[in-house]
Amino acid sequence: MSTQNFRVNELIKVAEVRLIGPQNENIGVVPIQKALQIAREAELDLVEVAPLSEPPVCRVMDFGKFLYERTKKEKEARKAQTKIEIKEIRLRPKTNEHHRGFKTRDARRWLLEGNKVKVTIRFRGREITYPEIALEDLKEIAEELADIATIEQAPNMEGRTMGMVLSPSKPGKKKPSPAPEKKDAAEDKANEVPPGEPQKTAEKA
Protein backbone atom coordinates (compact mmCIF):
# COMPACT_ATOMS: atom_id res chain seq x y z
CA MET A 1 0.00 0.00 0.00
CA SER A 2 1.34 3.43 -0.97
CA THR A 3 1.94 5.88 1.86
CA GLN A 4 -0.58 8.19 0.18
CA ASN A 5 -3.38 5.60 0.44
CA PHE A 6 -3.54 5.39 4.24
CA ARG A 7 -6.63 6.85 5.88
CA VAL A 8 -5.82 8.58 9.16
CA ASN A 9 -7.93 9.78 12.10
CA GLU A 10 -11.20 11.48 10.99
CA LEU A 11 -10.66 10.31 7.40
CA ILE A 12 -11.57 6.77 8.50
CA LYS A 13 -15.29 6.65 7.61
CA VAL A 14 -16.52 3.38 9.15
CA ALA A 15 -18.73 2.55 12.14
CA GLU A 16 -16.27 0.28 13.92
CA VAL A 17 -12.72 -1.02 13.61
CA ARG A 18 -10.54 -3.79 14.91
CA LEU A 19 -8.05 -1.85 17.00
CA ILE A 20 -4.38 -2.51 17.71
CA GLY A 21 -3.05 -0.35 20.54
CA PRO A 22 0.15 1.72 20.74
CA GLN A 23 2.03 -1.19 22.37
CA ASN A 24 0.93 -3.52 19.54
CA GLU A 25 -1.72 -5.04 21.82
CA ASN A 26 -4.97 -6.35 20.33
CA ILE A 27 -7.79 -4.26 21.84
CA GLY A 28 -10.48 -5.83 19.68
CA VAL A 29 -13.48 -4.46 17.78
CA VAL A 30 -14.52 -1.00 19.01
CA PRO A 31 -16.63 1.90 17.65
CA ILE A 32 -14.64 4.36 15.55
CA GLN A 33 -15.23 7.16 18.08
CA LYS A 34 -13.76 5.00 20.84
CA ALA A 35 -10.71 4.23 18.67
CA LEU A 36 -10.21 7.94 17.94
CA GLN A 37 -10.48 8.74 21.65
CA ILE A 38 -7.80 6.16 22.53
CA ALA A 39 -5.49 7.64 19.87
CA ARG A 40 -6.02 11.21 21.10
CA GLU A 41 -5.40 10.25 24.73
CA ALA A 42 -2.10 8.64 23.69
CA GLU A 43 -1.27 11.76 21.63
CA LEU A 44 -0.88 9.55 18.58
CA ASP A 45 -2.73 8.88 15.32
CA LEU A 46 -5.33 6.30 14.35
CA VAL A 47 -4.15 4.70 11.09
CA GLU A 48 -6.14 2.28 8.94
CA VAL A 49 -3.64 -0.48 8.04
CA ALA A 50 -5.97 -3.16 6.60
CA PRO A 51 -8.94 -1.45 4.91
CA LEU A 52 -10.21 -4.63 3.23
CA SER A 53 -10.64 -6.54 6.49
CA GLU A 54 -14.11 -6.82 8.05
CA PRO A 55 -14.09 -4.65 10.06
CA PRO A 56 -11.02 -2.65 8.92
CA VAL A 57 -7.92 -2.96 11.09
CA CYS A 58 -6.54 0.25 12.61
CA ARG A 59 -3.44 0.91 14.68
CA VAL A 60 -2.63 3.63 17.18
CA MET A 61 0.78 4.99 16.14
CA ASP A 62 2.91 8.01 15.31
CA PHE A 63 1.93 8.35 11.65
CA GLY A 64 4.83 10.69 10.78
CA LYS A 65 7.39 8.26 12.19
CA PHE A 66 5.63 5.37 10.45
CA LEU A 67 5.87 7.14 7.07
CA TYR A 68 9.55 7.98 7.61
CA GLU A 69 10.50 4.39 8.45
CA ARG A 70 8.41 2.97 5.61
CA THR A 71 9.94 5.36 3.06
CA LYS A 72 13.43 4.53 4.34
CA LYS A 73 12.79 0.79 3.93
CA GLU A 74 11.46 1.30 0.41
CA LYS A 75 14.59 3.27 -0.56
CA GLU A 76 16.85 0.58 0.90
CA ALA A 77 14.93 -2.11 -1.00
CA ARG A 78 15.30 -0.22 -4.29
CA LYS A 79 18.99 0.32 -3.61
CA ALA A 80 19.49 -3.40 -2.96
CA GLN A 81 17.83 -4.19 -6.30
CA THR A 82 20.10 -1.80 -8.20
CA LYS A 83 22.64 -3.80 -10.19
CA ILE A 84 25.97 -2.50 -11.39
CA GLU A 85 25.81 -2.40 -15.17
CA ILE A 86 28.61 -3.95 -17.22
CA LYS A 87 29.52 -1.81 -20.22
CA GLU A 88 31.64 -3.12 -23.07
CA ILE A 89 34.16 -1.74 -25.51
CA ARG A 90 35.19 -3.82 -28.52
CA LEU A 91 38.48 -3.53 -30.35
CA ARG A 92 40.65 -5.32 -32.89
CA PRO A 93 44.28 -6.29 -32.36
CA LYS A 94 46.47 -3.19 -32.71
CA THR A 95 43.55 -0.81 -33.23
CA ASN A 96 44.86 2.62 -34.26
CA GLU A 97 45.63 4.88 -31.31
CA HIS A 98 42.97 7.48 -32.16
CA HIS A 99 40.14 4.94 -32.17
CA ARG A 100 41.47 3.18 -29.10
CA GLY A 101 41.78 6.49 -27.28
CA PHE A 102 38.12 7.23 -28.07
CA LYS A 103 37.08 3.84 -26.67
CA THR A 104 39.28 4.27 -23.60
CA ARG A 105 37.62 7.61 -22.86
CA ASP A 106 34.24 5.87 -22.98
CA ALA A 107 35.53 3.27 -20.54
CA ARG A 108 36.83 5.97 -18.20
CA ARG A 109 33.46 7.75 -18.22
CA TRP A 110 31.59 4.52 -17.44
CA LEU A 111 33.98 3.60 -14.65
CA LEU A 112 33.59 7.05 -13.08
CA GLU A 113 29.81 6.50 -13.20
CA GLY A 114 30.30 3.36 -11.12
CA ASN A 115 29.91 0.77 -13.88
CA LYS A 116 32.15 -2.16 -14.68
CA VAL A 117 33.72 -2.29 -18.14
CA LYS A 118 34.46 -5.36 -20.22
CA VAL A 119 37.18 -4.85 -22.82
CA THR A 120 37.14 -7.39 -25.66
CA ILE A 121 39.42 -7.81 -28.64
CA ARG A 122 38.09 -9.92 -31.50
CA PHE A 123 40.40 -11.86 -33.80
CA ARG A 124 39.82 -12.37 -37.52
CA GLY A 125 41.48 -14.94 -39.72
CA ARG A 126 45.09 -15.62 -38.80
CA GLU A 127 45.13 -12.84 -36.18
CA ILE A 128 44.24 -15.49 -33.60
CA THR A 129 47.70 -17.01 -34.01
CA TYR A 130 49.16 -13.87 -32.37
CA PRO A 131 47.26 -13.58 -29.05
CA GLU A 132 50.22 -11.80 -27.46
CA ILE A 133 49.38 -8.68 -29.52
CA ALA A 134 45.88 -8.49 -28.04
CA LEU A 135 47.24 -9.24 -24.58
CA GLU A 136 49.62 -6.30 -24.88
CA ASP A 137 46.72 -4.04 -25.95
CA LEU A 138 44.67 -5.07 -22.92
CA LYS A 139 47.59 -4.46 -20.59
CA GLU A 140 48.10 -0.97 -22.02
CA ILE A 141 44.40 -0.12 -21.57
CA ALA A 142 44.48 -1.39 -17.98
CA GLU A 143 47.52 0.80 -17.30
CA GLU A 144 45.81 3.87 -18.80
CA LEU A 145 42.83 3.35 -16.46
CA ALA A 146 44.80 2.20 -13.42
CA ASP A 147 44.11 5.47 -11.60
CA ILE A 148 40.36 4.73 -11.43
CA ALA A 149 40.03 0.97 -12.01
CA THR A 150 41.30 -2.43 -11.00
CA ILE A 151 41.32 -5.65 -13.00
CA GLU A 152 38.46 -7.82 -11.76
CA GLN A 153 38.89 -10.50 -14.42
CA ALA A 154 42.31 -10.97 -15.96
CA PRO A 155 42.64 -11.24 -19.76
CA ASN A 156 41.47 -14.62 -21.04
CA MET A 157 40.43 -16.22 -24.31
CA GLU A 158 36.76 -16.85 -25.12
CA GLY A 159 36.49 -18.41 -28.57
CA ARG A 160 37.89 -15.88 -31.03
CA THR A 161 37.96 -13.04 -28.51
CA MET A 162 40.21 -12.08 -25.65
CA GLY A 163 38.71 -10.01 -22.87
CA MET A 164 39.12 -8.61 -19.38
CA VAL A 165 36.80 -6.90 -16.89
CA LEU A 166 37.66 -3.67 -15.07
CA SER A 167 35.94 -2.51 -11.88
CA PRO A 168 35.82 1.07 -10.59
CA SER A 169 38.02 1.88 -7.64
CA LYS A 170 39.10 4.92 -5.68
CA PRO A 171 42.50 6.35 -6.60
CA GLY A 172 45.17 5.00 -4.28
CA LYS A 173 47.15 7.32 -2.12
CA LYS A 174 50.79 7.76 -3.02
CA LYS A 175 53.18 6.39 -0.51
CA PRO A 176 55.42 9.06 1.03
CA SER A 177 59.01 9.00 -0.12
CA PRO A 178 61.29 7.49 2.51
CA ALA A 179 63.33 10.08 4.40
CA PRO A 180 67.09 9.94 3.83
CA GLU A 181 68.88 7.88 6.43
CA LYS A 182 70.57 9.90 9.14
CA LYS A 183 73.94 8.77 10.42
CA ASP A 184 74.16 8.05 14.07
CA ALA A 185 75.62 11.14 15.79
CA ALA A 186 77.64 9.04 18.23
CA GLU A 187 79.18 7.09 15.35
CA ASP A 188 80.13 10.27 13.50
CA LYS A 189 81.77 11.68 16.63
CA ALA A 190 83.75 8.50 17.19
CA ASN A 191 85.13 8.66 13.65
CA GLU A 192 86.25 12.28 13.97
CA VAL A 193 90.05 12.88 14.05
CA PRO A 194 91.19 15.43 16.67
CA PRO A 195 93.01 18.50 15.27
CA GLY A 196 96.76 18.01 14.86
CA GLU A 197 96.57 14.22 15.16
CA PRO A 198 97.55 12.24 12.04
CA GLN A 199 94.79 10.04 10.60
CA LYS A 200 95.35 6.33 11.20
CA THR A 201 95.58 4.06 8.19
CA ALA A 202 94.90 0.37 8.07
CA GLU A 203 98.02 -1.70 8.77
CA LYS A 204 99.24 -3.91 6.01
CA ALA A 205 99.43 -7.61 6.77
This prediction has a pTM of: 0.45
The residues spanned by each domain of the chain are 3-78, 86-168
H helix count then E strand count, the chain: 5, 8
In a structure prediction context, what are the per-residue pLDDT tens digits for the chain, which is 205 residues long? 555 678 999 999 999 999 999 999 999 999 999 999 999 999 999 999 999 999 999 999 999 999 999 889 888 887 766 666 789 999 988 777 888 889 999 999 999 988 999 999 999 888 888 889 899 999 999 999 999 999 999 999 988 999 999 999 865 444 444 444 544 544 555 555 555 555 554 444 4
> Are 91 and 121 in contact, with CB atoms under 8 Å apart?
yes
CATH of 86-168, one of 3.40.190.170, 3.30.110.10, 3.90.930.12, 3.30.360.10: 3.30.110.10
Distance separating alpha carbons of residues 147 and 152, to the nearest angstrom: 14
Fold designation for 3-78: Ubiquitin-like (UB roll) (3.10.20)
Do strands 26-31 and 86-91 pair parallel, antiparallel, or not at all (unpaired)? unpaired
